[in-house]
Chains A and B, each alone.
Chain A
Amino acid sequence: MELVWEGFKKALEMIMTGDPEILHITWLTLRVSMTATLISVIMGIPLGVILGLTTFPGRKLIVTIINIGMGLPPVVAGLWVTLLLWRSGPLGQHALLYTPTAIIAAQVLVSLPIIIGLTTSAFQQIDHRLRMQIKALGASRWQSVLILLKESRLAILAAIMAGLGRVLAEVGASMMVGGNIKGETRILTTAMVMEVSKGNFDIAIALSFILMALAFLITFLLTYLQQGKKSV
């Protein structure tokens, strides 16, 4: 218990004194997580809408792959990204391994299936009669999709929160493709793993408090957005 208290005090101290390394790690964590989530949202929501609203040969297979991807172990995602970015790999010439871009790529790989999968199920749950009613009101295809997105906003924001949560909590892939390089690719989760391995539990606990505070703040904002205007 004393260790936790020490960790909490350490976290406050590091924030209050504006420890440049901690600020950099926190900023990088925020930057890569938000970028990865944003990319997943931009790609995942339209794909989820298509899978949820249409039928075509091979759709079930794609949905199955997406659902399997929702449980994809981050280290496996990290391994694939490493193989792609490795010097002799297909994208090796771009020298992206051990950069924040590599971490973003790995994080997209773990969060994208979650956002696609949850958006797909949200759209599949929409009453088909509501879709017909929207068409009967004179909506074009695009207008129908926009209305349905608005109708599914609670479920879609939940999908974004789940994707963001996965990205913020992920450590295996970031460690593998980022390498936990000080000042370059060290993020809160990889820094925590390193501090624990060095026996610096107070710093690890302090980092965990910062990470939890970040996760809480972002989730709080998204939840407020999700529930804020809901009057019933």
Chain B
Amino acid sequence: MNIYEMNEVRYHIRMKKKSRQLLYVDRLALNQSEILGVIGPNGAGKSTLLKVMALLATPTSGTITYRGQQIYPGTVSLATRRKMATVFQQPLLLNTSVYHNIAVGLKLRNVSRKEQRERVQRWMEMFNIAHLAKQHAYTLSGGESQRVSLARALVLQPDILFLDEPFSALDFPTKQELMKDLIQVLRQTRTTTLFVSHDLLEIKQMADRLIVLMNGRITQEGQAEQVIRDPNEQAQPFLNKWKDTLIV
């Protein structure tokens, strides 16, 4: 069952009185509990797609439907935005302790202190960072910071989770360890996820379904294994570069 759908969505930016199209999506649907991977080279429009889907950027035209309700065109309500959570490439933690960083979204939603404590504790344990609760966020390593960032998003129990290259700033062993934990959490909680990456190795491990984005347009869509095995003509130049890495 699809819970989120975009049709004919365009996103333009204005540069010196000229309008430039960064994204055009004829149709894209996100199914309940799936992990949809988005891959493409730098500048393909992956992050723009994620921001538009996460309701952090307003499209220029098109329609967006969430759980059967049209949310664009129209004013996106705070309640709808609060059904979603996003983790970016940089952890972007606040100048406070790990505990308060993870609790911030719950505080914004006026969740009771008791419930905040229980949920934060549970998610710190899920990401193996409970021992860091009182530590200041700015003293953490890159891997620890990204764990806090993921816990901060998942503690909100989002209907859809958006991940914008969350492992790209991490070294290989840290990335593998965190990815393993995250896959386990996402499967266990059956969280619908959009996962953006330029790394086919990450996508292969994480995604059920895959779309290839080139120059702001979807050039291929299908089951992750099948797209990787048999890329179409437009996706080939980018995906073939990764083939050797995958064989190794």
The residues of A with any CB-CB pair to B shorter than 8 Å are 127, 129-130, 132-133, 135-140, 143, 147, 150-151, 231-232
Contacts of B139 in A (CB 8 A): 232
Residue numbers in B under 8 Å from A136 (CB-CB) = 54, 56, 84-86, 88, 162
Q: Report A167 CB to chain B, min CB distance, Å.
A: 29
| Cβ–Cβ contact A232 & B105, under 8 A | no
Asked whether A137 lies within 8 Å of B138 as measured between CB atoms, the reply is: no
Tell whether A231 pairs with B108 under 8 Å between CB atoms, given A136-B54, A138-B82.
Answer: no
Which are the 5 A-B pairs with shortest beta-carbon distances?
A136-B86, A138-B82, A133-B92, A137-B105, A231-B136
Q: How far is the CA of A232 from the CA of B136 in the complex (A)?
A: 7
B81, B88, B109: the one within 8 Å of A133 (CB): B88
B108 touches A133 (CB 8 A): no
In the assembled complex, B152 has its CB within 8 A of some CB on chain A? yes
B25 lies within 8 A of chain A by Cβ: no
Chain A residues with Cβ below 8 Å from B153 are 137
A205 shortest CB reach to chain B, Å: 43
Q: How far is the CA of A139 from the CA of B138 in the complex (A)?
A: 22
Q: Which of these, B51, B88, B95, B136, contacts A151 with CB under 8 Å?
A: B95
Contact B56 A151 (CB under 8 A): no
A139 to B106, CA, bound (A): 10
B24 CB → nearest A CB, Å: 22
B212 within 8 A of partner (CB)? no
Q: For the complex, is B156 an interface residue (Cβ under 8 Å from A)?
A: yes
Specify which of B90, B94, B108 is in contact with A143 (CB 8 Å cutoff): B108
How many Å lie between the Cα of A160 and that of B54 in the bound state?
38
Q: Is the interface of B mostly helix, strand, loop or mixed?
A: mixed
Interface 1/0 per residue, B70-110 and A, CB below 8 Å: 00000000100110111010101011000000001100110
Interface pairs (18), CB distance under 8 Å = A129-B90, A129-B92, A130-B92, A132-B51, A132-B56, A135-B56, A136-B54, A136-B56, A137-B108, A137-B152, A138-B105, A138-B156, A139-B108, A140-B78, A140-B108, A147-B94, A150-B94, A150-B95
Min C-beta distance of A83 to chain B, whole Å: 43
Partner of B81, one of A127, A129, A138, A150: A138
Report the separation of the CA atoms of residues A190 and B134 in the bound assembly, to the nearest whole angstrom.
51
CB–CB A138/B138 < 8 A: no
Decide if the interface of chain A is mainly helix, strand, loop or mixed.
Answer: helix
Q: Which residues of B contact A232 (CB under 8 A)?
A: 136, 138-139
A133 with B86: CB separation less than 8 A: yes
B 139-166 contacts with A by CB, 8 A: 139, 152-153, 156, 162
Shortest CB distance A149–B (Å): 12
A148 to chain B, nearest CB (A): 10
With CB as the reference atom, state the residue of chain B lying closest to A231. Answer: B136
Distance, CA A132 to CA B90, complexed state (A): 12
Q: If A137-B108, A138-B81, A138-B108 touch, does A129 touch B88 (CB 8 Å cutoff)?
A: yes
CB-CB nearest in chain B for A136: B86
- Complex Cα spacing A223 to B108, Å: 29
Q: Given the complex, which residues of B lie within 8 Å of A147, measured CB to CB?
A: 94, 104
A143 to B109, CA, bound (A): 10
Residues of A near B84 (CB, < 8 A) are: 136
- Chain B contacts of A135 at CB under 8 A? 56, 81
Q: Considering only CB atoms, which chain B residue lies closest to A129 in the complex?
A: B92
Nearest-neighbour CB distance to chain A for B192, whole angstroms, equals: 16
Closest to A229 in B: B96
Is there contact, CB below 8 Å, between B85 and A137?
A: yes
A138-B78 contact, Cβ under 8 Å, with A129-B92, A132-B51, A133-B92: yes
A210 to B116, CA, bound (A): 50
> Closest Cβ of chain B: how far from A228's Cβ, in Å?
14
- CB contacts (< 8 Å) of B156 on chain A: these are 137-138
Q: Tell me the minimal C-beta distance from A146 to chain B in angstroms.
A: 10
The residue among B78, B139, B152 with the most chain A CB atoms within 10 A of its own CB is: B78
Within the complex, what minimum Cβ distance (angstroms) separates B248 from chain A?
33
Chain B residue at minimum C-beta to C-beta distance from A230: B95
CA distance A71 to B58 in the complex (A): 41
